[in-house]
Amino acid sequence: MTKLILSTGNIVSGGPSIIRKPGTFRSNLELTNSLRSNFLAAQQDYAEAPDRRNGNTNGANGASNDAHSSPARRRPAVEAWTERDGPVLYVPRISWSVAGLHEERSQYDITLKLFFLPDAPVHERAQYVTEALSLVHKELGITTIDLLIASFPGMSFEGDCEWEADKKNATQGNLDEEVATWAILEELYREGIIRGLGIAEFGSEKLTNFLKRVSVRPVVDQINIRDCCKVPPLLTKLAMEENIELYVHTDCTNILPSGTLRELLGRGPQGASVLADVDEGIAGLQGDIIPQWVVKYTAFVKNRGVIENKGYFAGAEIIDG
């Protein structure tokens, strides 16, 4: 078994190719484009680095470990631009020495959105939370989060109108699992690590039932109304009564499907060539890929009204074949 940690780096400073263009990109495209760009940047950075295994150089004049690739597609060895720490493989390797924010912590609003993905075991969500927060803490050099929004699988607002979308939403997800996961986040709230909690894609009935079963109430409900155009009136009324802010967003609930991740790491035209190609006899990781979680983090500078740092981490597991 291999644990994968994927990262985009700071996409605010990454250039226009990976910044979301308003009205055109949803978060899944922002994530995949950002990961692909960061993989390529890391490969280019290490293209001339010595191959630690044999002392040769990688890149155009070195070993790409892919005899079937054209010279234009040759890349440094995977070991050069990724990093393994026991069972964990960082794709790409992360230079923590340049991590951190530019100003004092009090100058920022730090928001996280944690996506629990549909094929990952529910009983491991406490570990996913720990992994995601630890990475963000190291990346931003912080110990507290102002707002964490939990996104659970199987939730959406879809329908021909807002009334239908709200009705369909009531039957989605798994409330028992969502409440159990929320209890993990509540403990972090009580410890002061998270200052506010939010949820995503909870309609009026789902939210009503959820509030009856939790101790720490959400301060935010994020909903995607792309398919139904308007916020359901019953949800608006409930949010006002319960003092919960409604945010509209364009995120996908299943932000990183296994097929997308396999394409990102595979040996196709835009893949990172981390995975093996058994048919071609090319070495690499092989097995079933299970995306587990994705966290999106944003560091907003309050007095200047700008986002200084924004990016993603993703966790996945390869069950060795």
Domain around 112: 2-15+23-45+77-319
For residue 69, tell me if it sits in a domain.
no
For residue 60, tell me if it sits in a domain.
no
For residue 108, tell me if it sits in a domain.
yes
Which of the four pLDDT bands, split at 50, 70 and 90, describes residue 162? confident
Confidence (pLDDT) at 56: 43
For residue 64, tell me if it sits in a domain.
no
Taking only the tens place, the pLDDT of each residue in 260-303 is: 999 999 998 889 999 988 777 678 899 999 999 999 999 999 99
For residue 205, tell me if it sits in a domain.
yes
Confidence (pLDDT) at 227: 57
For residue 61, tell me if it sits in a domain.
no
Confidence (pLDDT) at 63: 38
pTM: 0.88
For residue 182, tell me if it sits in a domain.
yes
Taking only the tens place, the pLDDT of each residue in 46-105 is: 876 554 434 444 433 333 444 344 433 567 889 999 999 999 999 999 999 888 999 999
Instruction: Count the domains in the chain.
Output: 1
Complete DSSP assignment for 222-259: EE--TTT-S--HHHHHHHHHHT-EEEE----SS-S-HH
Most confident of 63-72, 126-135, 229-238, 269-278: 126-135
Q: Give the whole-number percent of the chain exceeding pLDDT 70.
A: 84
- What contacts 37, CB < 8 A, 6 or more positions away? 8, 14, 15, 17, 18
